[in-house]
Structure 1
Amino acid sequence: MGSLNDTIGRLAARQSAANSAMKVAMSGLAPADPGVLRPFTAPGSNPGGLTAWQFVPADLPPGAPLVVVLHGCTQTAADYDRGAGWSTLAAEQGFALLFPEQVRGNNANLCFNWFVPADIRADAGEVLSIRQMIAAMIDTHGLDPQRVFITGLSAGGAMTAAMLATWPALFAGGAIIAGVPYGAAATVPEAFDRMRGHGLPAPAALAAQIRHASPDTVRWPRLSIWQGSADKTVDPANAEAIAHSWALLQGLDMPARDSVDGHVRRSWRAKDGSVAIESVTVAGLGHGTPIAAQGPQACGTPGPYMLEAGISSTRRIAGFWGIAPVQAAGAAKPAAPAAPAAPAETGMEAMINGALRQAGLIR
């Protein structure tokens, strides 16, 4: 008899395929156009079996920065770019983008496998595939190896945490949106628990995991952490755990507290006075990337897991990294209300679908 994890995986794949077929049949539309992104093939072993897309603005000068963007479950690279607006900002400010993309052969719901130990080691799996892609992008386009940054949402945020832990010297900065700490889970059941905020290791243990992954590191990348206060998929306890473990890792003091567009921001300063870590909690936001579709900081388009919040995390993260102007604070806007609840389910269907929804595997 197969395990519950195998059953969940098969049901998730069947549900995803059925949903996709129904949407295409009802709309008459072809699969989503990749838009401004173009395929990118990196030489190397690609042990994680990922694909990739790129965006390189016209006439990009040599030595430009590179931003690596990791999508969430059920998303493609093009979905995430349209929602978050990274290519819009890259064209404005002059930097290149790399979008590693998951494939259904690895994960039926297009989640990066942040909870699989073989995929989050520096020398193996999906982490190594992304590392190879980054090296190829730098070589192909003559980008600045000292200005490489990485960000991601949900499963992409958790994989961002893995990249920052296993290859910290590669990155000048990172941004984790609704993610899970590196090394917090090693199985599917553990992943569900950690996302709910259950059984998270203590910050000291998480810091030790990162140190073990990169024992020789002396310089750590700047880190921006974003979390919705009303997130029911990835509990805000995960953002707390990430922030405190990274602060312990670097021996940073208690954080200062201020606000950005009315949302709580905490910051930990390095010895030179620069902000090494920031953590922004977006009031009333559910599970997704906070965007501003209107106004002076408009960037991105609302959609599933791309949530109108009156604040553009994309612009503010790039400003924190120093590759775009720092956005002036404006009036706070409430987050968009959550979508109506789905009809009630009963029995085994309710148990399995509930687990899949909390994992971000179905909507």
Structure 2
Amino acid sequence: MNTQFQLLMRDATRLTQAGRLNEATEAIQRALEGMAAAAGMPSHTVDGEAFEVNELPSGLLGTAQPAVRPDASARQTSCFSDERFVHGGMALQYKLYQPAGRSGEALPLVVMLHGCTQNPDDFAAGTGMNALADELGFVVLYPAQSQAANPQGCWNWFEHSHQKRGSGEPAALAALTLSVIKAYGIDARRVYVAGLSAGGAMADIVANAYPDIFAAAGVHSGLPCGAAGSVAEAFAAMSGGSPDASPLKGVMKKRRGAAQPEVRAVPTIVFHGDRDHTVHPRNGEQVIAAALGRVAGQPERRRTHTQQGMSEKGRHYTRIVHDDHDGAALAEHWVVHGAGHAWSGGQAAGSYTDAGGPDATREMLRFFLAQALAPGA
């Protein structure tokens, strides 16, 4: 990231905090234009194309049957491959990690959405997700945002065309996920999505736009879906949280005269540092509030448990667990004290990591693997 870009974005943040949104928008546009010019790319994001991914293929949530792929039965080593996916005119590069010694099993899938300026390799290295995939036995999908779609490689969570079912990046990511489920014999009942920062914001959008695909979501240092509808609003939300953030509505569309189905609430785990100066910690609280707001039934029948703890390396945290009267997890909020905008418990090999905090990767997988979609969900 060049110095001029950093200075302009710092000005934009200062102007946003002062309520001077028009000037902040101009500063952001100058920063993006400079970045795009340096890379020889257009200085705008690509609007999402409207294409539908509304129904799972019939029987996909039944008993998963492993797909037969070349040399799959003989593979005894892990595989981290580069792939490309095209859907509705939108192309996505991605990497796929398959753990060693698991051929023939219908494994869970974790979709990992990187943050701005990151890429799949960087994100994999920082989170240590592939090593945990070897240990616990799951496949990891790392979609890559292109600089053509966003000069900083950010998922466009702040644009209306990328915030709903059947449109833009959420639809492309859902279609990619379904393609991987089918091609690799994934257990479709156990598919999860997680992300950091802009990737965390998009993970919240995708999971709640497609609750029939994703059994649970993880949002690290991210924002709630609906937090912003423009770049200026995005900076305002990042600076202090959005007063208008609310649960995504209408994700299950009424069509062909069918009755509107009840929207499934997606269990969500949140990690956020309370010294995060890039995305205000209030956003983590709002992700949790929105997740609980989607839960049907009476709020008084839910339970909340709060635990104070300390990581092995001395970082204090507060863990707040929300469950129902049967003990089923609804949401879990980890506030990492003294931590900034970084993946908690991450590794120095990747960017935006904090090795001192509790292990967000392992805690997210614990939370994920306790969730599964019901057959026919």
Shorter-chain TM-score above 0.5: yes
CA drift of 1:164 comes to 1.4
Point out where structure 2 has 5 or more consecutive residues left out of the alignment.
1-24, 41-77, 253-259, 311-315, 372-377
- State the Cα deviation string for residues 127-181 of structure 1 (Å, max 9, x = none): 1111111111111110111000010000000000110121012111110001011
- State the Cα deviation string for residues 169-211 of structure 1 (Å, max 9, x = none): 2111110001011011110000000001154315xxx02xx13
Cα distance in structure 1, aligned partners of 2:364 and 2:340: 19
Partner of 1:211: 249
CA drift of 1:257 comes to 1.0
Partner of 1:57: 99
Cα distance in structure 2, aligned partners of 1:245 and 1:131: 21
Number of residue pairs aligned between Structure 1 and Structure 2: 293
- State the Cα deviation string for residues 252-300 of structure 1 (Å, max 9, x = none): 44622113434101111124212210000001100011115xxxxxxx4
Partner of 1:10: 33
Greater Cα shift, 57-66 or 161-170 = 57-66
Partner of 2:327: 273
Partner of 2:348: 301
Q: Secondary structure at the match of 1:50?
A: strand
Contact 1:42 1:132 in 2 (8 A): no
CA drift of 1:54 comes to 0.5
Cα distance in structure 2, aligned partners of 1:99 and 1:111: 14
Contact 2:304 2:320 in 1 (8 A): yes
- Name whichever structure is richer in helix by fraction: 1
Q: Secondary structure at the match of 1:150?
A: strand
TM-score by length of 2: 0.72
- State the Cα deviation string for residues 117-136 of structure 1 (Å, max 9, x = none): 11222111111111111111
Cα distance in structure 1, aligned partners of 2:323 and 2:138: 27
Q: Does residue 83 of the first structure (1) align with residue 122 of the second (2)?
A: no
After TM superposition, the runs of 4+ consecutive aligned structure 1 residues lying more than 6 A away are: none
**Aligned-residue CA RMSD in angstroms?**
2.4
Partner of 2:58: none
Partner of 1:321: 368
CA drift of 1:323 comes to 6.8
Point out where structure 1 has 5 or more consecutive residues left out of the alignment.
18-34, 293-299, 325-363
The aligned amino acid for 1:259 is: Q
Could you say if the C-alpha distance between residues 147 and 199 of structure 1 is closer, same or farther in structure 2, counting changes exceeding 3 Å? closer
Among 259, 268, 276, the alignment partner of 1:223 is 268
Q: Secondary structure at the match of 2:84?
A: coil
CA drift of 1:219 comes to 2.8
Partner of 1:233: 278
Cα distance in structure 2, aligned partners of 1:172 and 1:140: 19
- State the Cα deviation string for residues 329-350 of structure 1 (Å, max 9, x = none): xxxxxxxxxxxxxxxxxxxxxx
The aligned amino acid for 1:135 is: L
Contact 2:126 2:348 in 1 (8 A): yes
Cα distance in structure 2, aligned partners of 1:75 and 1:236: 21
